[in-house]
Chains A and B, each alone.
Chain A
Amino acid sequence: MKKIHVTYKQKNALLCLLAILIACIFLFPLYWIVVNSFKLDSEIFAGTPTLWPKEFTLKAYQDQLGNLRITMKNSILIAVGSMILSLCLSVPAAYGLARYRVKGMKLFVLVFLITQMLPASLVLTPLFLIFSKLGILNSYLAPILSTSTISIPFVVLMLRPGFLSIPVELEDAAKIDGCNGISAFFRIAIPISKPTVITAACFSFVFAWNDLAYSMTFNTKEAMRPMTSAIYTFMNQYGTKWNSIMAYGVLLILPSCLIFVTMQKYIVEGMTSGSVKG
């Protein structure tokens, strides 16, 4: 018996080691973004890449401060706006699809499943024409309205299983106590699913924050650009200033990383249910 115990321990250690190795190799690009943002231009240009900055510097960040003030504000406003809009629409919809036996439910689920698969590039041209007629190009409204279409179907599909798993008896009991359908939704369903609703909020924030296609197309004026399209423009102008580009990159990946580290479990669960089907 003892021998088996030891080999299990050894096997465990070996597997852990292998897993760490895989993670290190796989996550190397992430490390590369961060470490290069702290290097000097000259060090990157010198030829052989260094795994650790010879001279640790924040210069790449300082260089960008001026335009970051604008682009970061734009990114935040767009992401928060899109998050609020998509949550207001998708949380009730997910609840309705889970709780109410309405006619045409299959069709509604289908609408979300299909629209989720369709890419931005499909609707860029028509949306551009529509938005230009409405006169909302180069405003926050254009990217907010368009990026919400990414998160709404995702959040609906992601939240539905959670709402389905709440025991109906809970809401029935509340209804006997005089709650109507709407207040059962706000007083029972939402509080119980708080972690998943927060996860949904994170996803919709990140989807809008990460977007390039919509914001780049609709907001061409420099003052209205979010960070993603600003970094792209910057790359086209100063293609080899990799430390500045990576510094921008660090700031861009920061929200995703923070969210991910604090609520990894929920994110991973939500990702599976949101991208497959509810």
Chain B
Amino acid sequence: MGQNRRERQEQLLGYCLILPAVIYMLIFIGYPIVYNWIISFQVVTAKTLGSKVRELAGFGNYKAVFAEVTFWESLLHTFIYTAGCLVIQFSLGFIFAVFFAKKFTLSKYIRGFIVISWMLPVTVTALVFKFMFAEGNGIINTILMSLHIIRKPIGWLLNGNTAMFGLIIANSWVGIPFNMLLLTTGLNNIPGDIYEAASIDGANSIQKFMRITIPLLKPTIMSVLVLGFVLTFKVFDLVYVMTGGGPVSATEVLSTYSYKLSFQLFHFGEGAAVANVLFVCLFFVALVYLRTISRDETM
């Protein structure tokens, strides 16, 4: 009996520690997400913002949004952006991870140092890349021209065809060290004696990489890619500051489009509807992520 009472007390104390944070997250993230679905079925404009009873819109907001070309464009842009970022940040992150996994004097120090780009405010990252990609006095044009790769300056972010490229490069700058770090952790978890055994059996380094590193790293690669997808897909600050979704709507993504509908046009219902599309996309990928991590590790 005494044992039981102690156990119950322990449980109670545990809940007292855990629940405040859980409840906080449910209030400020959980509830807003539910509320977002409600708003998306209501007529919410600047006029009805403060009123208690709002008119129901049925699927009106969704219909209105789906009828807009910009919506489909921004959906497509979000996927293009995510795919582009994933390719660049994963491949370069992987190369960096393998390179810095070599044991030389500065390896750990420099690997740690380049991670700083991940911690900087995205606003500043966006601004400095905007400056570097500028047409007249941008350093990127200057370098490319002095290397004779281009003849005259390109307005990277002013041109619908190249603006997305600029965004992808800027985001990869933040994503590369992140990918590198996660892959490094995976590389370190591969026991060294497997490589030794392979060396004794006469395997060369390419064989070792293809037959040992890649297969054993597979779970890490999976989770890096899925997590990378989620983190990239939700982009807002970077696009908002660097291009504002422009020129015209060439770089409009779901989150910036939703923001525009809500806070510039005050069609809150439609903004919520677009955000929900973003939510559905993220939700499915997040499910995949949770499945991959619960398979190879215990919670």
Residues 1-16 of chain B, each 1 if its beta carbon lies under 8 Å from chain A, else 0 = 0000000001101111
Q: Is B117 an interface residue (CB 8 A)?
A: yes
Q: How far is the CA of A39 from the CA of B116 in the complex (A)?
A: 24
Q: How far is the CA of A276 from the CA of B289 in the complex (A)?
A: 10
Most buried by B among A32, A101, A123, A133: A123
Q: How far is the CA of A209 from the CA of B124 in the complex (A)?
A: 12
Main secondary structure of the interface of B (DSSP, over half): helix
Taking CB as reference atom, which chain A residue is nearest B14?
A100
Taking CB as reference atom, which chain A residue is nearest B130?
A235
Q: Is A57 an interface residue (CB 8 A)?
A: no
How many positions in chain B have a CB within 8 Å of any CB in the partner chain? 95
Q: Given that A20-B106, A93-B17 are contacting pairs, would A29 and B173 also be in contact in the complex, using a CB cutoff of 8 Å? A: yes
Q: Is B62 an interface residue (CB 8 A)?
A: no
Q: Decide if A123 touches B124 in the complex (CB within 8 Å).
A: no
Q: How far is the CA of A145 from the CA of B21 in the complex (A)?
A: 12
Q: Decide if B136 touches A19 in the complex (CB within 8 Å).
A: no
Which B residues are in CB contact (< 8 Å) with A2? none
Q: Decide if A267 touches B11 in the complex (CB within 8 Å).
A: no
How many positions in chain A have a CB within 8 Å of any CB in the partner chain? 99
Main secondary structure of the interface of A (DSSP, over half): helix
| One of B13, B21, B182 near A156 (C-beta < 8 A) | B21
Q: Is B268 an interface residue (CB 8 A)?
A: yes
Q: How far is the CA of A90 from the CA of B279 in the complex (A)?
A: 25
Q: Given that A15-B104, A102-B15, A122-B279 are contacting pairs, would A115 and B44 also be in contact in the complex, using a CB cutoff of 8 Å? A: no
B103-133 contacts to A, CB under 8 A, are 104-107, 110, 112-125, 127-129, 131-132
Q: How far is the CA of A105 from the CA of B105 in the complex (A)?
A: 43
Q: How far is the CA of A152 from the CA of B24 in the complex (A)?
A: 9
Measured between C-beta atoms, what is the minimum distance from B131 to chain A in Å? 5
Which of B25-33, B159-167, B196-204 lies on the face that meets chain A? B25-33
Measured between C-beta atoms, what is the minimum distance from A43 to chain B in Å? 10
Residues 96-108 of chain B, each 1 if its beta carbon lies under 8 Å from chain A, else 0 = 1001101011110
Q: Given that A121-B236, A253-B120 are contacting pairs, would A26 and B14 also be in contact in the complex, using a CB cutoff of 8 Å? A: no
Which A residues are in CB contact (< 8 Å) with B243? none
Q: Decide if B181 touches A271 in the complex (CB within 8 Å).
A: yes
What are 17 A-B contacts defined by CB distance under 8 Å? A22-B114, A29-B173, A46-B137, A97-B18, A100-B14, A118-B234, A119-B282, A121-B234, A122-B282, A124-B259, A128-B263, A132-B49, A152-B21, A210-B119, A210-B123, A245-B131, A257-B116
Interface of A toward B, CB cutoff 8 Å: 11-12, 15-16, 18-20, 22-23, 26-27, 29-30, 32-33, 36, 44-49, 89-90, 92-93, 95-97, 99-103, 105-106, 108-115, 117-130, 132-133, 145-146, 148-149, 152-153, 156, 181-182, 185, 206, 209-210, 212-213, 217, 228, 231-232, 235, 242, 245-246, 249, 252-253, 256-257, 259-260, 264-265, 267-268, 271-272, 275-277
Interface of B toward A, CB cutoff 8 Å: 10-11, 13-18, 20-22, 24-26, 28-33, 35-36, 39, 44, 49-50, 96, 99-100, 102, 104-107, 110, 112-125, 127-129, 131-132, 134, 136-139, 142, 173, 176, 178, 181-182, 185, 223, 227, 230-231, 234, 236-237, 240-241, 254-256, 258-259, 262-263, 268, 271-272, 275, 278-279, 282, 286, 289-290, 293, 297, 299
